[in-house]
Amino acid sequence: MPKYLLKISEDPIEFEAPTAEAFLEAWKGVFPWDYDNDNTFMRMAARSACDWSGKSIRFDSVEAFTADMIDAGMLEEVGMYKAKDSYSMWDSKTLVKKRKELNVTQMHMARSLGVSHRMYCYYESGEQDIPRSIELSVRYMENTKGSDVLMPTGTLSNFDKDRIERLCSALSGVEGADAHIDKVLRQSKTELEYLLSKFE
């Protein structure tokens, strides 16, 4: 069963539940407020969460409340393989969705985030965990969408494409006595061909 961390006091509350929406029950166990019904408790809890986080928290439904708590950083799933502070709780699908909402290419996103295109592709494919710093940078990009924060994508001229193709052809015929150099050359050829395909 998944574990969650509810950050509503100096000492975060860890609890196990089938879904994150069970955080309200964990909260009730810690803060025994007087309340008439669950809606009243939710309103009181949302008001406190808003005060603590400085962000607006919806309480019209448990789903909305849960989503806002996660966005505010007050509720997170504690993964067995993820360090709470260094990795995002986003999965690869979320990152792909965010990039598409920003209407940018993978190459553009990698450049904007200061990572290699290959590493960014690992994040989107789920081969690498997404660092918290990447999540925060993407959130910043979302908040500044429409400004000049993102780098321009640019294009390749026919001359540039021809130079890359000739370099790839030249790399194909090179074989040396050093296995490491051969490996680097083969990888360089593959990377150049991949980059070239992005501009077709």
Interatomic CA distance for residues 190 and 94, integer angstroms:
28
> So what's the pLDDT on residue 152?
38
97-139: pLDDT as tens digits: 999 999 999 999 988 888 889 889 999 999 888 888 888 888 8
Q: For residue 46, give every residue at least 6 positions away whose Cβ sits within 8 Å of its Cβ, in sequence order, or none.
A: 57, 58, 59, 65
Specify the fold of 92-143. 434 Repressor (Amino-terminal Domain) (1.10.260)
Domain ranges of the chain: 3-78, 92-143, 158-197
Calculate mean pLDDT across residues 67-83: 73
> For tokens 């050359």, what's the residue?
185
